[in-house]
Structures are given as C-alpha cells and as structure tokens.
C-alpha cells in the first residue's frame, strides 16, 4: 500500500536530512585552511571570500538587497499614498474600470483609482514583514525543538521528533491554509503564525540532525574529555557548529514563506484591509480584470517571483558553499 | 634515555597513581553476540611514569582509554573491573564528579588535532575555557596564561596565535595547542591516544619530544597509546602489548625491545623500520584481527602466530608474571643469548 502523504513526508524528510548531512560547517572551514590566511581572519570572512566570486550568489544577493532596501524605504520611495484614490474620478465602471498610465502615475491606477506603482512599492513592505517574521518565528520554534531533541535523548527526543514527522507529512501549504483558516479574523499576524508553524518542523528536524552529528564529533568528545559543563558543550560546542545548514535553510525558507504568504493572501486569508497593499492580495484582486488588464496581475506576480528567486539563488549558493562535496 | 634522577622519581617504590584492574568493556550489538573489546586488562601508572599501550588497530586501545575517562556511550556497553585513581574507583563516580575530574586530574590528547578542536572558537578561548572551568579563573586573567601555555608547547608568537582559529594553524601546531589545552590545569595523568598518527613523520618526532619534555618537567604520568612500537621506544618506561583486548606482554622498555618473548611483540618489532637494518625487507605480521580465535578456548593470535603449538587452539594462555615482566603465551620466543 502506498500512502501518498507518507511518501510526501518521506521525501521532505530525506531532503532535510541531506541538508543536515552535507556539512556541519566545520568541514567547509577545514577545507578553507588550505588557503593561506592571515591569523585572526574569522570564519565568516573565509566563507565570504569563497562566495563573493560566485555570480549566482551575487545575483541573489543583489536582488534581495534591492528588495530589502525597497521595502524598508517604501513609504519614502513611493510617489503617492497607496491608500488614496487619486484617479477615482477617472474610474468608470462600465467603460474604463482601470485608469491607464498618465504623468505621475507610470503604471496607471487600480479599480478604485489608487496609484498602482506606489501600491507595488509599498506592497514589498508587507511581503518582507510576513516573510521575515514567519521565518524568524519558524526558526525560533525549530531551534528550541531541535536543540531540545538533539541535546537530550530518549523520550523527549522521540516525542518531539514524532510530532515533527507528523507535521512534515502534511503538505505545507495545506497546513498553513488550515491554520490560518482557524483564525477568527484574518490579519497579517495570522498569516505569519500560519506560515511560521509550517516551518517549525523543518528547522527542528534539520537542527536535530546536525546536533546529532555534533554530538558524535571529535571536538565534542575532546571537550567532554576536558570536563566542560554540559550546557557549554551544547551551546558553545554543538549549536554554533550545527547552525550552518540552518542558515542555508532559513534563506531558502524566506523564499517559500514569501510565496506561501502570497498564496494565502491571494485566497483572502491575509490582511483584509487593502489600504495596506500586499502582492498576493493585489494578485487576488487582479483576477476580476485579468482579461482586459492583465498587467494588474503581471506586476505583483513578477515581483513575487523575482524576490523568491533572489532568496532561492542566495540560499542555494550558500548551501553549495557549505557542501564539501560540491566545492571545487 | 632516563637520567638517574628520573629513575629515582618514578622508582618502583612510589604508589601507583592509577591502577586499572581487570577492566572489561563489553559492547552489546543488536542481533549479534556481545563483543568484549577490552578483556580483563590490568596495568598501573606511577606518578611521572610513562606507560605505553601498544597494539594493532582494533585491539581495544581507544576503548580502554575512553573507559578510564568515563567517556564511553551511556548505552550499549558494560564496563566492569576497577579504575583506581589514588583510592577512588573512577568507574563508580557520579557523572558530575567524573566531569569535575576530567581536564583537571586526568586529561587526554586525541589522534586528529584538526577535528579535536572546535572550528568556530579561536584557539586561545579553547585554552581559557578549561582554566575558567576548573580553576575559576576569569577569561580576562586567563588570556595571558593561555598565551604562556601556547608558548610552553613551542607555538611561536603566542599572543597573536591565541586569536587564530584552528584552520589557520598547521597540523603540528594544532597538536601542540591540544597538548597545551590538556595540560592547562596541570593534570597528574595524561592519556595520549595516538597523538602523532595523523601527523607528518618529521612533525611526529617533534611532538613526541615535546610530550617527553613536558611530562618530565612536570612529573605528569603519561599513558601513551599507539600502534607504532617506534613511538614507544623513545618515550615509555613500561610497555603493555595488547592483542584482541587482552594484554599479551608487559615489561620495561629495554627488556621488551631487546628480547621480546611474545610472538606478536616480536612480529611488531620485525615490522618497524630501523636505522641499522636499512634495505632489509620489513616483515609484517600475516593476516588480520579478523582471523582471531575467541580467547575463551584458545590463543586469539594462534591463526597468525609464527610458532603455534597444539595447545594454542584448545586452551587459553594466562598472563604469567615473572621478574618484572608478564607474558601470555604457551610457546614464547627463545631468548637469544
Ligand atoms: N561504540 C562501539 N560499539 C561497538 N563496538 C565498538 C565501539 N567502539 C569500539 N568498538 C569496537 O571495539 C574494538 C576496539 O576498538 P578501539 O579501542 O577503538 O581500537 P584501537 O585499538 O584501534 O583504538 C573494535 O573492534 C571496535 O570495532
Ligand atoms: S600462545 Fe601459541 S598461538 Fe598464542 S602467541 Fe603463544 S605460541 Fe602463538
Ligand atoms: Mg584507536
């Protein structure tokens, strides 16, 4: 009997475990030792040295930097207030529901006369907030569970991991959808919590895997042989070395949270208040005009894709840089 | 070459610092017979003495050292016997008490200096960490001590080197740093598990010389674990030869090298390169540990032995002590006179 959910869950577990197995950070750093380096150069510096020559990473970095800059300064950059229907008098529901471009309004307006260009720019803000907070919360939850499971063993570990595996076998968007549908009133925070919850088991399983590797590593044995306290072993000797794949995963998760957030907003599970624009929500609203004014859907969709691509490129090249097998 | 002064200090009248008695480590393996990796091993180390544990890979050297340190996994094995450290049986100590002793009373140096250091912490902090842990010294005050320690193990420019990450050091320098960390709290016993195996030959000699110098200066007792009798030759006062988890021969360094009695010891000696026999073919011991018979009703070495007799495959040889030496063999090598 093949259970599709089990298969789905197993595939995800395998991918997470591959990421956990590929490196514990120390391997990558050990290799870097063959390059002659000045004393005192930090590990981050030597990883950066490898990455800054990688065009894929640089592309991703450029996109994400531009995006973050845009999101942070959106209110300053946007020429108009995204909530005010400047061109409302140009909207004629029968003949011309969407006012076209005109001086000062390069992309025209939406169906209630608000500057579409400004809405796109300000929309980046919500996307960043949802993506970052969802990842941060997911990471925090995953770190706590993963460290708990990886540092202890026995029933705590089994209990945590059993719960994690169950969650992993539910398709992530479906789970996020169910969680946000539970909320009495949708808002950007229910969105964030829904998406974060979906990421928790991913980070937890990943971190537990890398923690277990650390637990059987030589330098942890050496630290134990020096009588180092258990808390120091966990937090100084295991966790910092277990984080490499987690950082990679966090970058990739930013991309998926942005897409998931857009998908949920598109379905009306995000912030219902459209004075605060969001790309997924804009995409949802563009549906009714898709035949006459496809650009209303095209621009937010393109933004989502480009930003998600940026984080993915960055994450994948980080992953590659940390993976001893794929490095030349 | 030991000086008379040294001989007096580690004279046989001093009470042992560590006495390992009948140490046995059995691993439970799923779906298989339990496996005795260490099988009734006994030896002792006096203050200032260097004792070698020698044998091929897989003979139980590391398991012995981990058992002494209390570092074997909690599950899946059973440790019996006693490890007496000045009247305390380390095997019965609680986890917390044993943790307080590790690094302070007994320290250990491992085989691979790169992987034994934490890659994300500068070496200096790894030295101060032990000082903070066992001697309650604040990090600020421990830093100059760390630099002193690095200097003492021969790391040049120690004030700069304490900020280095392990990957910025050479293999030899890393092993020096590990020795500095192990000796930071002046333990009375140091266990070195193949400390030179991962290093270049020239570096090996330097590290051995350093270890010798340090233990002689400080009077630290040293258990030197190696598969290489050549390492033992220059360093150890006493040599224990392990085979299949049991000690098969023991004696002071010179008698063991001059006249090995056990065929296995003899074979090991035949397979180390010597200056006076350059050009002669080395004769490795045939076969591998996979050929071992169980000790229960035979000599485990019999299938590989150069001179087995009939009783070797039917009875277990016992470890017989005589004249400061011990031997487990039915048909020892004749002493050439
Ligand atoms: N955790 C373990 N579980 C099962 N068997 C082990 C374990 N550790 C070591 N062994 C076995 O014990 C034997 C001795 O190992 P070890 O002491 O590491 O040898 P060496 O003399 O090379 O240091 C080997 O056969 C090894 O396979
Ligand atoms: S007891 Fe027999 S088989 Fe074993 S070493 Fe001695 S002679 Fe060889
Ligand atoms: Mg070993």
User: What's the half-sphere exposure (Cβ side, CA atoms, 13 Å) at B235?
Assistant: 31
Query: Residue A8 domain-assigned?
Result: no
Query: Ligand 2 pocket test: which of B261, B266, B292, B301 has the largest number of ligand atoms within 8 Å of its C-beta?
Result: B301
Query: Residue A138 domain-assigned?
Result: yes
Buried b (16+ CB within 10 A) or exposed e, A292-328: ebebbbebbbebbeebbebbbbbbbbbbbbbbeeeee
Query: Residue A82 domain-assigned?
Result: no
Q: How far is CA B8 from the centre of its chain?
A: 23
pLDDT of residue B72: 95
Question: Which residue, chain included where needed, has tokens 């010891």?
Answer: B265
Q: Does A42 touch chain B (CB under 8 A)?
A: yes
- Beta strands B246-252; B238-243: pairing state: antiparallel
Inter-chain Cβ pairs, chain A and chain B, closer than 8 A: 99
Distance (angstroms) between ligand 3 centre and the Cα of A322 equals: 29
pLDDT of residue A141: 95
Query: Ligand 1 pocket test: which of B58, B109, B244, B292 has the largest number of ligand atoms within 8 Å of its C-beta?
Result: B58
pLDDT of residue B3: 46
Looking at ligand 2, which atom is closest to the CA of residue B263? 5
Distance (angstroms) between ligand 2 centre and the Cα of B259 equals: 16
Distance (angstroms) between ligand 3 centre and the Cα of B225 equals: 8
Judge: A225–B178 Cβ closer than 8 Å, yes or no: no
User: What's the half-sphere exposure (Cβ side, CA atoms, 13 Å) at B214?
Assistant: 27
Distance (angstroms) between ligand 3 centre and the Cα of B53 equals: 11
CA distance B287 to A64: 61
Our CA-based measurement puts residue A42 at a distance from the nearest CA of chain B, in whole angstroms, of 7
Mean pLDDT across B63-69: 97
Pocket of ligand 2 (CB under 6 A): B 263, 299, 301-302, 305, 307-309, 312, 317, 329-331
- The more confident residue out of A16 and B242 is B242
Query: Residue A243 domain-assigned?
Result: yes
CATH of the domain at A201: 1.10.3720.10
Nearest CA owner, ligand 2 atom 1: B329
Quick one: CA dihedral A158, A161, A162, A163, positive or negative? Answer: positive
Count helices and strands (H / E) in chain B: 11, 12
Count the Cβ atoms, other than its own, within 10 Å of residue A207.
28
Query: Residue A31 domain-assigned?
Result: no
Q: How many domains does chain A have?
A: 1
Q: Are B271 and B277 in contact (CB under 8 A)?
A: no
* pLDDT range class, residue B168, cuts 50, 70, 90: confident
Our CA-based measurement puts residue A34 at a distance from the nearest CA of chain B, in whole angstroms, of 8
pLDDT of residue A112: 76
Among A223, A203, A215, which residue's Cα sits nearest to residue A239?
A215
Query: Ligand 1 pocket test: which of B53, B62, B242 has the largest number of ligand atoms within 8 Å of its C-beta?
Result: B62
Our CA-based measurement puts residue A229 at a distance from the nearest CA of chain B, in whole angstroms, of 8
Among A135, A125, A69, which residue's Cα sits nearest to residue A276?
A125
Q: Express each pLDDT in B105-140 by its tens digit.
A: 999 999 998 899 998 899 999 999 999 999 999 999
Relative to the alpha carbon of B303, which ligand is closest? 2
pLDDT of residue B143: 95
Of A32, A223, A226, the CB nearest to B167: A32
Q: Does A222 touch chain B (CB under 8 A)?
A: yes
Question: Which residue, chain included where needed, has tokens 């991913």?
Answer: A202
Nearest CA owner, ligand 2 atom 3: B302
Mean pLDDT value across chain B: 90
Question: Which residues on B lie below 8 Å from A230 (Cβ)?
Answer: 99
Looking at ligand 1, which atom is closest to the CA of residue B59? 21
> At B88, is the secondary structure helix, strand, or coil?
strand
Judge: A219–B117 Cβ closer than 8 Å, yes or no: yes
Count the Cβ atoms, other than its own, within 10 Å of residue A173.
17
Q: Express each pLDDT in B205-228 by its tens digit.
A: 999 999 999 999 999 999 999 998
Domain that holds residue A193: 121-317
The full 3-state SS of A241-300, as one line of letters, equals HHCHHHHHHHHHHHHHHHHHHHHHHHCCCCCCCCCCCCHHHHHHHHHHHCCCCCHHHHHH
Q: Are B143 and B161 in contact (CB under 8 A)?
A: no
Distance (angstroms) between ligand 1 centre and the Cα of B61 equals: 8
Relative to the alpha carbon of B194, which ligand is closest? 3
Of A225, A232, A237, the CB nearest to B102: A225
pLDDT of residue A31: 40
Among A221, A293, A264, which residue's Cα sits nearest to residue B110?
A221
Of A39, A43, A227, the CB nearest to B160: A39
* pLDDT range class, residue B46, cuts 50, 70, 90: very high
Query: Residue A230 domain-assigned?
Result: yes
Query: Residue A302 domain-assigned?
Result: yes
> At B23, is the secondary structure helix, strand, or coil?
strand
- pLDDT tens for chain A, 328 residues long, are 567 778 888 888 888 888 887 655 444 444 443 334 444 445 556 667 778 888 999 999 999 999 999 989 988 887 888 877 777 777 677 766 777 777 777 787 777 778 888 889 998 888 888 888 999 999 999 999 999 998 887 888 999 999 999 999 988 888 988 998 888 888 888 989 999 999 999 999 999 999 999 998 999 999 999 999 999 999 999 998 888 888 888 888 888 888 888 888 888 888 788 888 888 888 888 888 778 888 888 999 999 999 999 989 988 888 777 665 544 3
C-alpha gyration radius of chain B: 21
Residues of chain B in Cβ contact (below 8 Å) with chain A: 69, 71, 99-104, 107-108, 110, 112, 114-121, 129-130, 133-134, 160-161, 163-165, 167-168, 178, 181-182
Judge: A219–B160 Cβ closer than 8 Å, yes or no: no
* pLDDT range class, residue B337, cuts 50, 70, 90: low
Mean pLDDT across B151-170: 92
Q: For an interface test with B, give the residue of A219, A232, A247 to mutate (most B CBs within 10 A).
A: A219
| pLDDT value at B183 more than 90 | yes
What is this model's ipTM?
Answer: 0.91
């Amino acid at each position: 009997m093949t259970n599709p959910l089990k298969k789905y869950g197993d595939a995800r577990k395998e991918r997470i475990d591959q990421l956990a197995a590929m490196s514990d950070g120390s391997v990558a750093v050990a290799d870097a030792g063959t390059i002659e380096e000045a004393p005192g150069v930090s590990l981050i510096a030597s990883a950066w040295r490898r990455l800054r020559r990688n065009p894929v990473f640089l592309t991703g970095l450029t996109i994400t930097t531009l995006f973050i800059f845009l999101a942070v300064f959106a209110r300053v950059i946007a020429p108009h207030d995204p909530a005010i229907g400047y061109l409302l008098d140009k909207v004629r529901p029968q003949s011309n529901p969407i006012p076209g471009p005109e001086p000062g309004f390069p992309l025209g307006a939406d169906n209630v006369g608000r500057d579409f260009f400004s809405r796109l720019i300000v929309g980046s803000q919500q996307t960043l907030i949802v993506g970052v907070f969802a990842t941060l919360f997911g990471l925090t939850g995953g770190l706590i569970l993963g460290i708990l499971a990886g540092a202890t063993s026995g029933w705590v570990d089994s209990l945590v991991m059993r719960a994690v595996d169950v969650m992993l076998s539910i398709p992530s968007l479906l789970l996020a959808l169910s969680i946000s549908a539970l909320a009495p009133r949708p808002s950007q925070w229910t969105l964030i919590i829904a998406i974060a919850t979906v990421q928790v088991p991913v980070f937890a399983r990943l971190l537990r895997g890398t923690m277990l590797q650390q637990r059987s590593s030589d330098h942890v044995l050496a630290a134990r042989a020096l009588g180092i306290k258990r808390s120091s072993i966990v937090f100084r000797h295991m966790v910092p070395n277990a984080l490499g794949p987690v950082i990679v995963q966090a970058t990739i998760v930013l991309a998926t949270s942005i897409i998931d957030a857009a998908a949920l907003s598109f379905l009306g599970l995000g912030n219902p208040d459209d004075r605060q624009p969001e790309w997924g929500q804009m995409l949802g609203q563009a549906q009714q005009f898709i035949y006459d004014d496809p650009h209303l859907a095209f621009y937010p969709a393109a933004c989502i894709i480009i930003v998600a691509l940026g984080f993915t490129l960055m994450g994948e090249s980080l992953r590659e840089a940390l993976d001893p097998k794929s490095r030349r | 070459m030991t000086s008379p002064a040294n001989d007096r200090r580690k004279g046989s009248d001093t009470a042992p610092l560590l006495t390992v008695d009948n140490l046995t480590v059995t691993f439970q393996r799923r779906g298989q017979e339990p496996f005795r990796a260490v099988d009734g091993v006994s030896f002792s180390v006096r203050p200032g003495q260097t004792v070698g544990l020698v044998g091929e890979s897989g003979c139980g050297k590391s398991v012995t050292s981990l058992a002494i340190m209390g570092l074997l996994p909690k599950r899946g094995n059973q440790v019996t016997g006693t490890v007496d450290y000045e009247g305390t049986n380390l095997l019965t100590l609680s986890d917390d008490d044993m943790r307080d002793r590790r690094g302070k009373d007994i320290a250990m140096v491992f085989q691979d200096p790169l992987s034994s250091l934490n890659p994300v912490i500068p070496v200096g902090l790894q030295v101060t960490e032990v000082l903070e842990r066992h001697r309650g010294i604040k990090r600020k005050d421990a830093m100059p001590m760390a630099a002193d320690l690095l200097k003492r193990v021969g790391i040049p420019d120690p004030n700069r080197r304490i900020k280095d990450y392990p990957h910025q050091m050479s293999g030899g320098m890393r092993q020096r740093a590990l020795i500095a960390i192990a000796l930071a709290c002046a333990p009375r016993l140091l266990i070195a598990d193949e400390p030179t195996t991962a290093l270049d030959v020239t570096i090996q000699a330097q590290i051995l010389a350093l270890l010798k110098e340090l233990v002689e200066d400080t009077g630290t007792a040293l258990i030197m674990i190696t598969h290489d009798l050549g390492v033992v030759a220059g360093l150890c006062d006493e040599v224990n030869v392990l085979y299949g988890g049991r000690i098969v021969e023991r004696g002071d360094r010179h008698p063991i090298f001059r006249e090995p009695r056990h065929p296995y010891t003899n074979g090991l000696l035949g397979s180390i390169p010597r200056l006076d026999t350059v050009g002669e073919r080395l004769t490795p011991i045939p076969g591998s540990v996979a050929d071992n018979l169980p000790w229960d009703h035979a000599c485990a070495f019999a299938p590989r032995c150069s001179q087995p007799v009939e009783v070797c495959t039917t009875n277990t040889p016992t470890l017989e002590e005589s004249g400061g030496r011990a031997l487990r063999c039915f048909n020892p090598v004749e002493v050439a006179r």
